[in-house]
Amino acid sequence: MFEIDGHTVGMRHRCLIFGEVAQAHDGSLGMAHAFIDAIAEAGADGVKFQTHIADAESTPDEPFRVRFSQQDASRYEYWKRMEFTEEQWSGLAQHAREAGLIFLSSPFSLEAVELLQRIGVPAWKVPSGEVGSTPIFERIAETKLPILLSTGMSPWSEIDAAVEWIKGEELPLLIYQCTTAYPCPPEKVGLNLLDTFRQRYECPVGLSDHSGVIFPGLAAATLGVDMLEVHVTLSKEMFGPDVPASLTTAELRQLIEGVRFIERVRDNPVDKDAIAEEMVPLRQAFFKSVVARLDLPEGTILERDHLTIKKPGTGIPADQLGALIGRSLRRAVVKDELIQEEDLV
């Protein structure tokens, strides 16, 4: 268990939910600020970006993961177009804080780490592609901030080594189950790994979901996940490689409402006897009582054909009908009249 920006992470505390902007802003600073407002309005706990500095991260020979842009001749040129200045990043971070959001951004180079440390982040989200970037790990370890480690492309051996190193540095750690597929099909979401991570590494766990739907996040909430991260788009018709794997802000709001509902359910185990006690008025309305099937004179010795069961449940309970057979009436009762204990000898 640890804290990020005053929020407790782990020990089945409230799940922190992040809207991941990634490159959905398409290089527009105004769009990036619009995402912050939309994610805050949806009720998220935090917003996450990605800090790319082309010259520090990539060579001009880097291939496109998915060829999506008519505007950029190379992946390197795309990263150049995605860059913000340090002043612009600082403004985004300040805007997020003013909106009540935790501000995070994944660094993809040592220079990005330095920039983000200067503007201030409360934790480091290590993306799946940087698990083997030892120099980046060594630099962020110097800050002593929590590490949120994504595992989308790593086998157990690589995750084990990274966790061992992080724990050796005595850094707070959360492990994200993540599958690097955009969008991620249900068969590869991997909810089974949440408890495996929790037990294997004895740390909080999260789900970084790329399915583009709300269902994995809701399912993870039922399993007590500590953190959720989902890509966000303002519209499914927007441009960019991550749109098919993203939620709209309306879907994000629905996810958040669902997670909070599930948390209330999980935090309030039901005592069936206590609930039944509360249900007495409803039981009287819905349950049935023993009634006369026909008019019966005083002194009648009750037989099965004399009786039936009907609402309301304010008389002798229906399950006691058999116990009335052979008893006699103190008074006459009419058809459909509820028989009470005081009517019987």
- pLDDT of 322 reads 96
Given CATH 3.20.20.210, say whether it is the number of domain 273-343.
no
Are 140 and 122 in contact, with CB atoms under 8 Å apart? no
What are residue 275's phi and psi, to 5 degrees? -65, -40
Residue 15: name the closest of 39, 44, 37, 40 by CA.
Answer: 44
Amino acid present at 235:
S
In tens digits, the chain (345 residues) has pLDDT values of 899 999 999 988 999 999 999 999 999 999 999 999 999 999 999 999 999 999 998 888 777 766 666 777 788 888 888 899 999 999 999 999 999 999 999 999 999 999 999 999 999 999 998 998 999 999 999 999 999 999 999 999 999 999 999 999 999 999 999 999 989 999 999 999 999 999 999 999 999 999 999 999 999 999 999 999 999 999 998 878 889 999 999 999 999 999 999 999 999 999 999 998 898 899 899 999 999 999 999 999 999 999 999 999 999 999 999 999 999 999 999 999 999 999 999
pLDDT in tens, 268-304: 999 999 998 898 899 899 999 999 999 999 999 999 9
HSE-CB at 36 with a 13 A cutoff on CA atoms is 23
- Residue 33 CA to residue 86 CA, distance in Å, equals 15
Are 24 and 233 in contact, with CB atoms under 8 Å apart? yes
Angle in degrees, 0-180, between the axes of helices 249-266 and 215-222, rounded to the nearest 10: 20
Three-state SS letters, the chain: CEEECCEEECCCCCCEEEEEEECCCCCCHHHHHHHHHHHHHHCCCEEEEEECCHHHHCCCCCCCCCCCCCCCCCHHHHHHHHCCCHHHHHHHHHHHHHCCCEEEEEECCHHHHHHHHHHCCCCEEECHHHCCCHHHHHHHHCCCCCEEEECCCCCHHHHHHHHHHHHHCCCCEEEEEECCCCCCCHHHCCCHHHHHHHHHHCCCEEEEECCCCCHHHHHHHHCCCCEEEEEEECCCCCCCCCHHHCEEHHHHHHHHHHHHHHHHHHCCCCCHHHHHHHCHHHHHHHCCEEEECCCECCCCECCHHHEEEECCCCCCEHHHHHHHCCCEECCCECCCCECCHHHEC
- pLDDT of 67 reads 65
User: Would you mind telling me the total number of residues written for the chain in this entry?
Assistant: 345
Are 58 and 114 in contact, with CB atoms under 8 Å apart? no
Residue 131: name the closest of 99, 164, 105 by CA.
Answer: 164
Q: Which residue intervals of the chain bear CATH 3.90.1210.10?
A: 273-343
Just give the CATH number of 2-266.
3.20.20.70
Q: Which residue intervals of the chain bear CATH 3.20.20.70?
A: 2-266
Q: CA angle, corner 182, sides to 181 and 185, nearest 5?
A: 65
Amino acid present at 222:
T
